[in-house]
Amino acid sequence: MTVGQVRGFTRFYTRVIGLLDRCYLDSPYSATEARVLFELATRDHCEVTDLRADLGVDAGYLSRILTRFERDGLAVREPSPTDGRRQSAGLTDRGREVFAALDERSSAEVGALLADVPESDRRRLTAAMATVQRVLGRTPPSSYVLRPPRPGDLGWVVHRHGVRYAEESGFDGTFEALVAEVVADFGRGHDPEREAAWIAEVDGEPVGSVLCVRLDDTTAKLRLLLVEPSARGLGIGARLVEECLRFAERAGYRSITLWTVAGLDSARRVYERAGFTLREERPDRLFGRDVIGQTWQRPLGGEWSR
């Protein structure tokens, strides 16, 4: 099924951006030739062998494209300045003019394509595109941002907790129901001076969450820490906990607590590094499983120092 879906998307996308047209953007050049123009325009003179490797095109085909560009006055080839046995290629002034016109036309077409797309759908679209690039390119994310929740994010927190804990811990639907209750209480009327939430985002896509809520006048509670597998290894979990601690201290709490279950080793390491200590654990039957519930706690402000 996955293969068929990928092929279907490929057919759809090539039709949308006009890759099946004989000429790209009504120019004399094919999509591949336009891509070569783009690569040459965004580099200084580059070696032809590097260009071929980056584009993944046949050496003979690339040579014919460059020959045409030379004939049209768009490009020149000359011996590489670092190795006279190899060729380098670059655009002429005429080539840069042609590229600039194609680039402007391409931007206008994409702008028209997105003109009627709502902003929320644009974020979903760009996030999905980034995910495709990251997954198929096998490149892990390199950066992230933390931000307050936007409309729809609290629903995402419930959904992803339900999915992740079902897959990784075997929890049943009662866990997702519990998360929904926590999120509903927060969304209905939290005090922004004493309660807050954060969403971790990579390439416009939510990948993590945490809540800081009031337990009582002197104690805050850390809840719903989550980091998606695709974003683990970036330190997002530790950063979410750190933001929660900073907020709790500014809000005037004297301590912060959290409840979890034994066996979540990655989370436990994050809590320990942040200064939490295990205060209580008790076996229980929850979420369709036998678990050991744990309460962790940490003093705040002057009562604790790293």
117: left (phi over 0), alpha (psi -120 to 50) or beta: beta
Cα 159 to chain centroid, rounded: 17
Q: Residue 23: pLDDT band by 50, 70, 90 thresholds?
A: low
According to the model, what pLDDT value does residue 86 have?
84
According to the model, what pLDDT value does residue 224 have?
98
Rounded mean pLDDT, 116-136: 79
Cα distance between residue 107 and residue 117, in whole Å? 16
Rounded mean pLDDT, 203-213: 93
Q: Which CATH architecture has domain 2-116?
A: Orthogonal Bundle (1.10)
According to the model, what pLDDT value does residue 124 have?
79
Q: What percent of the chain clears pLDDT 90, i.e. is strictly above it?
A: 51
Q: What is the pLDDT of residues 209-252, one digit of tens each?
A: 999 999 999 999 999 999 999 888 889 999 999 999 999 999 99
Do domains 2-116 and 145-303 share one topology? The answer is no
According to the model, what pLDDT value does residue 57 have?
84
Cα distance between residue 112 and residue 123, in whole Å? 17
Residue, of 13 and 33, whose pLDDT is higher: 33
Q: Which amino acid is at 193?
A: E
Q: Does residue 19 carry a pLDDT above 60? A: no
According to the model, what pLDDT value does residue 158 have?
98
According to the model, what pLDDT value does residue 263 have?
92
- Structural contact between residues 197 and 211, judged by C-beta atoms closer than 8 angstroms: yes
Predicted TM-score of the model (pTM): 0.64
Cα distance between residue 98 and residue 91, in whole Å? 10
Rounded mean pLDDT, 110-138: 80
Q: Does residue 205 carry a pLDDT above 90? A: no
Residue, of 291 and 10, whose pLDDT is higher: 291
- Structural contact between residues 283 and 291, judged by C-beta atoms closer than 8 angstroms: yes
* Domain 145-303 class in CATH: alpha beta
Average pLDDT of the chain is: 88
Q: For the ranges 25-29, 196-200, 269-273, which has the lowest average pLDDT?
A: 25-29
Q: What is the pLDDT of residues 130-187, one digit of tens each?
A: 778 777 766 666 689 999 999 999 999 999 999 999 999 999 999 999 999 999 999 9
According to the model, what pLDDT value does residue 118 have?
87
Q: Which amino acid is at 22?
A: R
Q: Domain segments of the chain: what residues?
A: 2-116, 145-303
Q: What are phi and psi of 167, to 5 degrees?
A: -75, -40
Q: What is the pLDDT of residues 51-89, one digit of tens each?
A: 888 888 888 888 999 899 899 998 888 888 777 778 888
